[in-house]
Every structure is written in structure tokens, then in C-alpha cells.
Amino acid sequence: MGYRDKFFKDPANRSNHGWYTCVRCGRNFRKGDVDIDHILPQSCGGTDEIDNLQCMCRHCNRSKRDSMDDSIADYLDNEIRRNPNKY
């Protein structure tokens, strides 16, 4: 199973009536229009694990490229979103 399928199968990542929200710009997109982004880029050792994946629109993903600038903030956001009862 690819990381894209893994992301969409995860219960924490269920769509909102078929819409997925970009973590960067907050706009909603159809499944076919979102990219599954590696929070820590693969080029920097990021894995395909579910806690390293986030939903981003193509525009935002392109502008992110392989920068690590947002990785720590994104990682924390993702952790909180996925485990709301822990925080």
C-alpha cells in the first residue's frame, strides 16, 4: 500500500463529505486534487508512516518543496490533530 492510500485509509483522515482540507491554506479540495505531503521530506529522512503524512493542495505542496522550515510546526499540528484527547 502506498503512502497516499495509507493516508486516506486512516480514520483520522476521513474526508468531510468527500472534501479534504489543505493544512497550509485551509481550502477544501476533492481527493484527486490533493497531494499527500511528507511533513519531514523523504530527502531528509522522512518516512511513509502515517504520522509523517499530511494533506496539502498541489499549489501549497509545490511552494513547500523540500524545505524543512515548517516540518516541526507541521509535525506538532499533525500530532495534535490526530490525538486531540491527549492535549
Binding site for Zn ion (CB under 5 A): 22, 24-25, 57, 60
Q: Which amino acid is at 56?
A: M
Q: Which amino acid is at 9?
A: K
Burial class (CB in 10 A: 0-12, 13-18, 19+), 75: middle
Nearer to Zn ion, 53 or 60 (CB): 60
Least separation in angstroms between residue 35's CB and Zn ion is: 9
Nearer to Zn ion, 1 or 36 (CB): 36
Least separation in angstroms between residue 54's CB and Zn ion is: 11
Least separation in angstroms between residue 61's CB and Zn ion is: 8
Contact 48, 6 (CB under 8 A): yes
